[in-house]
A and B are shown apart, each in its own frame.
Chain A
Amino acid sequence: MTMKTILAGATIAASLSTTAFADDPTKVGFVYVGPVGDGGWTYEHDQGRLAVEEAFGDAVETVYVENVPEGADAERVLQQMALGGADLIFTTSFGYMDPTINVAEKFPDVMFEHATGYKMADNVSVYSARFYEGRAVQGHIAGQMTESNVIGYIGSFPIPEVIRGINSAYIHAKAVNPDVEFKIVWAYTWFDPAKEAEAATVLIEQGADVILQHTDSTAPQAAAQAAGNVVTFGQASDMAEFGPFPRVSSIIDNWAPYYIARTQAVIDGTWESTNTWDGIGAGMVGIGEITDAVPAEVKASAEALRDSLASGEYHAFTGPLNKQDGTAWLAEGETADDGTLAGMNFYVEGLTGEIPQ
């Protein structure tokens, strides 16, 4: 009895046991960049996970790992999840893009879904929400709420997703308030409450009376509240506990329908690698209640904007628009194509400062 035979026997036993347990619940894994209690981005993904559990009951088992750093560590976590028998894995942050692709190569029978990225494979889908549609509504309100005409923006990382949001908010703030100016601070983190609070405080000290954030914690909301006269918007999650002021509205991510649909596809065996990018219309992006701190006519026009974005009759990037350096981007009436939006790495005309490269 050589080592080889023992190993071979073990392999056969292992493969038999996998088939024997084929009736086992479908296992769905989630990898989170922050803690589920962040009150923002990761919280909403976890709500999606809970919705999957509720929808399928015993037929589906979910597992999740939170606070997974973007990079090599993510690869290890993904690998373990795949080895642990997951059939479908959602990787819910941009920085998991390469780890997801790498691990997916090694596990062709496991389906992967990567949020907000652009690299696909036969067993890797990408999905994201058109948050920039929500940013348009935010900018529309922000431009009219500001008295100092300075709007502070806390960016996380200079990736297309975030730059799109800045551009969209700026275009729509500028449309209602030609004097508006954006001050942008890059925090280089998705989640660091102390740093986010600091960034918000700095922006407020430099005259901003509206703070937009693309980071995940509620710390900027608290900083604005302490300042007293500063408007904020909930990010990723409703953050309603800071309403009706400073939080006057919010962008809510609603992943539940997508997660349920994709899990169903795996159960049915109809799962295919797809590229999903849904917005307000499909319900993936929600606009949180606009509070009474916003004047009635502003609220009405913001809701009209939201509805026209939802129905598709208006596109958040409609020309004429120039790039920051003054070169023409979109002609009158032209709308941006998804390819340009997905890789957006330039500011639109009027924004100051440079995008860190």
Chain B
Amino acid sequence: MDWSAINPILLLASLMVAATPIILASVGELIVERAGVLNLGVEGMMITGAVCGFIVAVNSGSPWLGFIGAAVGGAILSLLFGFLTQFLLSNQVATGLALTLFGLGLSALMGQSYVGIKAPEFADWHIPLLGDIPVLGPILFQHDPMVYVGLGLVAAVWAFLKFSRAGLILRAVGENHEAAHALGYHVVRVRMLAIMFGGACAGLGGAYLSLVRVPQWTEGMTAGAGWIALAIVVFASWKPLRLLLGAYLFGGVTVLQLNLQAAGMAIPVEYLSMSPYLATIAVLVIMRAGRAPGSLGQSFHASR
């Protein structure tokens, strides 16, 4: 095999891009689950965000407005989930699965007249000075802005959970909603906000696919990315920084295995194809330390 065909700088640079949709979607789901809600509808919210973002971007000509549209679209869809689970107390697992199916169908319907259209271009940022550093520049500082938005979100979520009072309340609601309620916190309100945040993030992740990675609209284009995001939240023990590691690992091994294939690596392709999943699960399970939020997946009603 021909190792020289693989350029490690380009490999690491594309790793950052490959991981971004998963980072965006999973950081939102992390907040949702830390608030004690299990929303399995990530895939549905992602694909809805992808189509909403695409429609807004094509009609307005601005990818930025597209991303805002995607966040709004994802959040609106998640409101449906929130209403059903928080006010009507429906089963979260079933409702989440239904949300995925609904999102896939809804997005196909919305995107009917947008198949085969190109998205407005979303230019890479070449950060001055930092982008010119040899080796590190092309790896870290020459991406499109959403890569940094994703990183910023992870940092913000980490700080929010660790240092802010609101983060503490959110965690309290997730750990023990009865206790949080007894202390006078509005459990349902906190959870609704968390669910909306999760929807908005999933929407952004979807729009990253339809506006940057692919970039066009095709039905079913998320192709399971939402499920990966969900799995990474669990394997990262609900910790933002581990989540970042998991997403980079997954994105990295995905890109690496394609590179190895193209370079003619003598390992059977089947093993290479399963390697991103195996590597991510193995590393995160070995490092696994945390436990699930105490009230995860349980319905809450003040009268009980």
To the question of whether A and B form a pair in one complex, the answer is yes
Roughly how many angstroms separate A189 CA and B209 CA in the complex, as a whole number? 17
Question: Across the interface, do A194 and B221 meet the contact criterion of CB distance under 8 Å?
Answer: yes
Interface string of B100-122 (1 = CB under 8 A from A): 00000000100110011110000
Q: Report the separation of the CA atoms of residues A202 and B218 in the bound assembly, to the nearest whole angstrom.
A: 21
Identify the stretch in B187-195, B236-244, B259-267 within 8 Å (CB) of chain A at 4 or more residues: B259-267
The chain A residue with its CB closest to the CB of B111 is: A37
**Given A38-B218, A67-B220, A241-B118, do A193 and B209 touch, yes or no (CB 8 Å)?**
yes
Q: Give the total of A residues in contact with B, Cβ under 8 Å.
A: 40
* Interchain CA distance A206-B255 in the complex, whole Å: 12
Within 8 A of B (CB), among A215-238: 217-219, 222
Residues 59-83 of B at the A interface (beta carbon under 8 Å): none
Distance A357 CA – B269 CA, assembled complex (angstroms): 9
A217, B218: Cβ atoms closer than 8 Å: yes
Main secondary structure of the interface of A (DSSP, over half): loop
- Decide: B5 and A206 in contact? CB cutoff 8 A: yes
Complex Cα distance, B255 from A199, in Å, reads 8
Q: A25 contacts the other chain (Cβ, under 8 Å)? A: no
Q: How many residues of B contact A (CB 8 A)?
A: 41
B261 touches A37 (CB 8 A): no
Which of the candidate stretches A71-79, A178-186, A291-299 sits at the interface with the other chain? A178-186
> What are the residues of chain B within 8 A of A119 when measuring CB–CB?
none
- Total inter-chain residue pairs, C-beta < 8 Å: 111
**Which residues from chain A contact B220 at a C-beta distance below 8 Å?**
34-35, 67, 191
Q: How far is the CB of A50 from chain B (nearest CB, A)?
A: 14
B44 to chain A, nearest CB (A): 14
Q: Give chain B residues whose Cβ lies under 8 Å from the Cβ of A241.
A: 116-118
Q: How far is the CA of A193 from the CA of B112 in the complex (A)?
A: 17
- Asked if B39 is at the interface (CB within 8 A of a chain A CB), the reply is no
- Minimal beta-carbon separation of B269 from chain A (angstroms): 4
Measured CB to CB, the closest approach of chain B to A324, in angstroms, equals 13
Chain A residues whose C-beta falls within 8 Å of the C-beta of B266 in the assembled complex = 354
Taking the closest CB of chain A, its distance from the CB of B151, in whole angstroms, is: 19
Of A35, A152, A185, A194, chain B has the most CB atoms within 10 Å of the CB of A194
B268 near A202 (CB under 8 angstroms)? no
A183, B224: Cα distance in complex, Å: 27
Q: Does B179 contact A (CB under 8 A)?
A: no
* A88 located at the interface, meaning its Cβ lies under 8 Å from any Cβ of chain B in the complex: no
A35 near B218 (CB under 8 angstroms)?
yes
Q: Are B116 and A202 within 8 A (Cβ)? A: no
Q: 9 other contacts beyond A184-B262, A193-B209, A241-B117, with CB at 8 A cut-off?
A: A36-B219, A185-B258, A185-B262, A194-B221, A205-B14, A206-B5, A217-B214, A222-B216, A354-B266
Q: What is B's interface to A at a CB cutoff of 8 Å?
A: 5-7, 10-11, 14, 18, 21, 108, 111-112, 115-118, 209, 213-216, 218-225, 254-255, 258-259, 261-264, 266, 268-270, 273
Contact sample, A vs B, 21 pairs, CB 8 Å cutoff: A37-B112, A38-B218, A67-B219, A188-B269, A192-B224, A193-B209, A194-B21, A195-B254, A197-B214, A198-B14, A198-B213, A198-B254, A198-B255, A199-B258, A205-B10, A205-B11, A205-B14, A206-B259, A206-B263, A218-B116, A222-B118
